[in-house]
Structure 1
Amino acid sequence: MKVVVALDSFKGSIGAAAASLAFADGWRDAAPDAAVELRPMADGGEGTLEAFAAAVPGARRMPVRVTGPDGALVDAAWLLLPPTPDAPAGTGVVELASTSGIELLGERRAPWRADTTGFGQAIAAALDHGVSRLVLGIGSSASTDGGLGMLRALGADVTDADGAAVAPGARGLAAAAAVDVASLRRPPAAGAVVLTDVTNPLCGPAGAAAVFGPQKGLDADGVARADAALTHWASLFAGDPELADAAALPGAGAAGGTGFGLVAWGARLVPGAPEVAALIGLRDAVAGADLVVTGEGSFDGQSAAGKVPAFVAGLAAEAGVPVALVAGRIADDADTSGFTASVSLTALAGSPAASLAAPAQHLRAAGAALARPPR
């Protein structure tokens, strides 16, 4: 029996690669003769780098020290994927979560000061190496800076009405009066794609500030101020015909508006899960499988909207291969009808706290449980 394990990260608990490995170990405990193939998945957020590193032979981690979201130095890495005909000098994978992500702040929040400088510095490091193509994951942002820090790290000059550099973070957006891109570095020859699992525009009731600002520490007044600042920020680019409608693009509001900043830079927004799947060869792996296992930390009513489990389940359905679900929790409103079996780590562990305290242990137990034939 061939089993393909394609789990996403269990956010705040365990990454996709480690989760897939723990589950696979459990399956092998119960069924030692099974062929278990790991294809950890991601959609652009936390764990994207690890998923590529685990699934792409020859991928190399490239260490880099960057300025974190609160100004402190952070030791991070970008990933160099091997050359391909379309990217003869290799593809660089850069993850915002590990350079400018909210997890880097711990329990603290810095809604006005946090920025994306570190993400831009990591992109610059990949460009310095000479990659032919960039894949940029932008989930789990700590800031609502519209990509201001990222663009400045790549050479843009953003000044106020007096010609002085604006402050970093969301607080600098309202004061911005001019964006000079004369020294802005450009995307590599084969382009840059941006992985996102959200479709929010930059501004308005479904925009970056309104939807994601509260989790970053913005109160109601702060949301309104940040939304107005992002609207002003977008207006500075509206003179370019190619960017006139960029703020309304699905995904422009991702990562506190970093999606918009990357479009202004020249990158292209794409749904994360399909792009990751293509780069790690998931479709071919699924086609040769007897069973596919997917999952994420919380499987609920929104998981069908572009999240990894729904995407993987769709690939399996196309190939006529059954698919099982493993999740940290399975909410009451979740639709599991498309899965042949489902396991909740919370149910296995007895409580959410117990599940979160030892995710690898319970993922291993889930693997063993699904591998055993029903009595």
Structure 2
Amino acid sequence: MAPLLEEPTQIDFDAPLKAAPKLVAPEPEHCPGPESQQAGKADSCAGCPNQAICASAPKGPDPDIPLVTARLSSVKHKILVLSGKGGVGKSTFSTMLAHGFASNKDHTIGLMDTDICGPSIPKMMGVEEETIHVTAEGWEPVWVNDNLGVMSVQFMLPGRDDAVIWRGPKKNGLIKKFLMDVTWGELDFLIVDTPPGTSDEHLSVNSFLKASGVDGAVLVSTPQEVSLLDVRKEIDFCRKAGIKILGIVENMSGFVCPGCKHESQIFRASTGGAKRLAQDEKIPYLGAVPLDPRIGMACDYGESFLDAYPDSPACTAIRNVVRRAAEEMSLPKGEVLPESDCAARGINR
């Protein structure tokens, strides 16, 4: 049976509760949240019918955080994939990153899709028609292959085109269930694909994972300044939230013709691109992944681009990104990508 989406718990980044107070009116647009420390006290609370209820509601740490920590105790490394802007290929990059880590058959990888309103990961991984099964131990992730599992809200929707029209607390509640109720098992890496921005989903993931430990975040951008402008905000978010930045990746960095291998600059880096931004912000630069039309085709068909086109420049680039991210996590060389595999692909070590 598939789990229902009717009972997610409302939570707050600072002081989430196990059960939200019962309100007498809908939350106003600028509500700080009925579980916030400022609930009933903020300027926006003046005149709200819920003010007395929110002000008197008990505050305190979420008692489920230890359960989340216990559930994830068998996950060795946790990586967030962030982008301040939509349309930079973040989810596509997340799937390629997951396939890259999973290319080492000795490792088991989990990919969690926290983009509740735009869950595209199942389509890209070729498991769009699957559903979640519930066992006595919890929710079972959908396995793409023997060492790569996926969890997404898409598996819980009645139809592929159904919209998820939820406010922040309900989305946060589902993310909490993904972390607390999913039987991830023994994972070497858990990759968390997040929606664009720096809002509810990001705060929720960070608050729940803080106790169990996050290795860091990989930031994704495209070369043009419009994209880098929002990535700077993501960098600021990571620093304020205490999330280590493993590095930044410049996605769609040039177009490589599949036939002649000639590279053209589609999105020109008018201000130096992600590499210059990394230098200015003193964060690691993980590399550039060129634009290859076969990447989009592989995602449409739910195939691994790395397996389908192992000799392409984009494949070499993504494997280099995997290697660099592993280095930033202080993992030994050859642990993530075997030495023999790197030599075969022509990856510089």
Question: Which TM-score tier does this pair reach, normalised by the shorter chain?
Answer: 0.3 to 0.5
TM-score (norm 2): 0.35
TM-score (norm 1): 0.33
